[in-house]
Amino acid sequence: MSFGKHLIAYSSPAGSTEKVGSTIGEKLEQLGETVYYLDLSSSAWKEKASPVLDKDTSSSMIWIGSPVYAQHAVPPVREFLDWLPYSSERQGAVPFVTWGAVCSGIALFEMGRSLEEKGYGLLGAAKILSEHSSMWRSNSPLGAGHPDETDLEKVRQLAERVQNSIKQGAKFPISSQDLDYQPAWIRREAENIDLQKVKSFHPGYPVDNEVCTQCGVCADNCPAGAITLNPFPEIGENCFLCNNCVRLCPEGAIYFDTDTVENRVREMEQRFQEEEKKSEIF
Ligand SMILES: Cc1cc2nc3c(=O)[nH]c(=O)nc-3n(C[C@H](O)[C@H](O)[C@H](O)COP(=O)(O)O)c2cc1C
Q: What CATH number corresponds to the domain at position 158?
A: 3.40.50.360
Quote the ligand 1 centre to 3 CA distance (angstroms).
31
Ligand 1 atom closest to residue 102's alpha carbon, by position in its atom list: 11
Tens of pLDDT along 169-196?
Answer: 878 999 999 999 999 999 999 999 998 8
Give the whole-angstrom CA distance, residue 280 versus residue 254. 36
- When computed from its CA atoms, the radius of gyration of the chain, rounded to whole angstroms, is 19
What is the 8-class DSSP label of residue 139?
S
Provide the mean pLDDT of the chain. Answer: 93
> Contacts from 219-223 at CB under 8 Å and sequence distance 24+?
221/245, 221/248, 223/11, 223/13, 223/40, 223/41, 223/76
Whether 190 lines ligand 1, by a CB cut-off of 6 Å, is: no
Q: 39 has which bridge partners?
A: 10
pLDDT at 203 over 90: no
What's the pTM? 0.96
Polymer length in residues for the chain: 282
Is residue 258 one of the residues assigned to a domain? Answer: no
Sorted by sequence, the CB contacts under 8 Å of residue 77 that are 6+ apart come out as 9, 10, 11, 40, 64, 65, 66, 111
Is residue 196 one of the residues assigned to a domain? Answer: no
Quote the ligand 1 centre to 12 CA distance (angstroms).
10
Q: What is the mean pLDDT of residues 117-123?
A: 96
Is residue 174 one of the residues assigned to a domain? Answer: yes
Q: How many structural domains are present in the chain? A: 1
pLDDT at 1 over 60: no
Is residue 265 one of the residues assigned to a domain? Answer: no
Q: What is the mean pLDDT of residues 47-68?
A: 80
pLDDT at 58 over 80: no
Tens of pLDDT along 71-113?
Answer: 999 999 999 999 999 988 889 999 999 999 999 999 999 999 9
Is residue 118 one of the residues assigned to a domain? Answer: yes
Is residue 191 one of the residues assigned to a domain? Answer: no
Quote the ligand 1 centre to 91 CA distance (angstroms).
29
Is residue 141 one of the residues assigned to a domain? Answer: yes
Is residue 78 one of the residues assigned to a domain? Answer: yes
Element holding 92 (H helix, E strand) = strand 92-99
Of 103, 106, 132, the residue with max ligand 1 atoms within 8 A of its CB, to mutate for a pocket test, comes to 132
Residue nearest ligand 1's atom 6 by CA: 69
Share of the chain above pLDDT 90, in %: 82
**pLDDT computed for residue 254 by the predictor:** 97
Quote the ligand 1 centre to 68 CA distance (angstroms).
5
What is the domain extent for residue 127? 5-185+276-281
The 10 Å Cβ neighbour count of residue 85 is: 12
Q: Which of 36-50, 144-158, 249-263 has the lowest mean pLDDT?
A: 36-50
